[in-house]
Amino acid sequence: MFKQVMTALFALSLVAMFWTEANAATCLKWSTIGGTKTCLLWSTGSEVCNAVSTGVGNPKCDPALETCPAITCAAFGTVPLANNVDCTNNFDPDNTDCGIKGIAFCRNPASKSSKAQGQPFTLDTVLTETQNIDTCDRNGRCVNTIELDPQDCPDCCINPNWQFITFTASEFNAELVICPGGYDVNNEFCCADSSRTTDNKCDPVPPTATTNEITLAQRCTVDLTNYKPRYAIPYNGQPL
């Protein structure tokens, strides 16, 4: 088994075309942070976190100084891998006793066919990534897409000589964390806005590291019957 909590290598991109209001309406929940509204939609391919934000534009936001708003997307396991473990509301980044249930896709490089083959697999890791929101349209509307996909999974394939392609979850606990002003030096605190002291700390410094963070948590499930790698299917998200 993939016995470690790791930050995987993620494919990060800003989509070129911004969502329409109809697309955004399919999201589970809008979260209002001051003048900013953010909506979230998870889809397969592996697990893709799509977040659309409005009113993010901030003339003081400087990508070079990392003072822009930031989002963190994470997937946590819901399947117990040890006795007497409750994974129902698992959002612990250090928990290796709860696995992410899904399908691992691998390809036999020696075969003439390049078709990936899938098999049920439980990934015992946590997938997480943080991305700054620093590119928006003129109306302050920003769309961020973060794909959570393990860089490698040596135990995912039935044959160690096969090539790992991707892992797609059928069930996981999804978390989106929004930091309105970005994180300060050393990522110690989440700032309420882009204001910083001369030593690049939040101004004012919040009493705790998570004071200004807004969290959206949900249970994501999808039917992977006849699923093909990289296909985008919306997850059914239920609040937790």
- Is 203 within the bounds of a domain? yes
27/176: higher pLDDT: 176
- Predicted confidence band at 110 (pLDDT cuts at 50, 70, 90)? confident
Instruction: Find, among 53, 55, 58, the residue nearest to 14 by Cα.
Output: 53
pLDDT of residue 18: 31
- Give mean pLDDT, residues 200-220: 91
Q: Is residue 136 part of a domain?
A: yes
Q: Specify whether the CB–CB gap between 52 and 133 falls below 8 A.
A: no
**pLDDT, average across residues 198-224:** 92
Examine residue 6 and state whether it is found in any structural domain, yes or no. Answer: no
Check residue 202 and give its pLDDT. Answer: 94
Q: What is the mean pLDDT of residues 41-51?
A: 89
Domain count, the chain: 1
Domain with 160, as residue range(s), is 12-224
Residue 2 confidence (pLDDT) above 50: no
Residue 233 counted as domain residue: no
Tell me what percent of the residues of the chain surpass a pLDDT of 90. 45
Residue 144 in domain: yes
Q: Answer whether residue 71 is part of any domain.
A: yes
- 123 occurs within a structural domain: yes
Residue 232 in domain: no
